Amino acid sequence: MGPKEPRSAVLTAEDEAVIVAFRRHTLLPLDDCLYGLQPSIPHLTRSSLHRCLERHGISRVPEIDGDKPKKQRFASYAIG
C-alpha cells in the first residue's frame, strides 16, 4: 500500500536536492539546517525538512568517534 515512490507534496525535487546537499556538506543538526535553508526556501517547515531527510536516509547526524566514553556493562574494580 502507499505510493511507489514517496515524494513531498510541498517540496519540489530541486528543493529536496538542495536540502540533501546542504545536510551532507555541513552535517548540521535539524534546527540549524532549517535556519540555514529558510532564506532560500521560504515555504520550508521543520516537519517537511525532517520528512525529506528521513526519506533520503540522512535524518540522523552520524556519531563521531571519541565524542562519548565507551559504555561498559559493569564497573571495573580492583580485586580485594
Range of the domain at 33: 13-55
- Count of structural domains within the chain: 1
Interval 9-46: pLDDT, tens: 889 999 999 999 999 999 999 999 999 999 999 999 99
C-alpha to C-alpha distance for 56 and 15, rounded to whole angstroms: 13
Q: Which three cell numbers stand for residue 51?
A: 520528512
- In this structure, is residue 20 part of a structural domain? yes
Is residue 24 within 8 A of residue 17, CB to CB? The reply is no
Look up the pTM and report it: 0.72
How high is the pLDDT of residue 65?
Answer: 66
- Band (4; pLDDT cuts 50, 70, 90): confident
65 falls within a domain: no
User: Is 44 part of any domain?
Assistant: yes
In one-letter notation, the amino acid at residue 52 is C
Whether residue 49 lies inside any domain: the answer is: yes
Quick check: is 31 in a domain? yes
Please tell me the predicted confidence (pLDDT) of residue 66: 65
Q: Is residue 64 part of a domain?
A: no
47 in a structural domain = yes
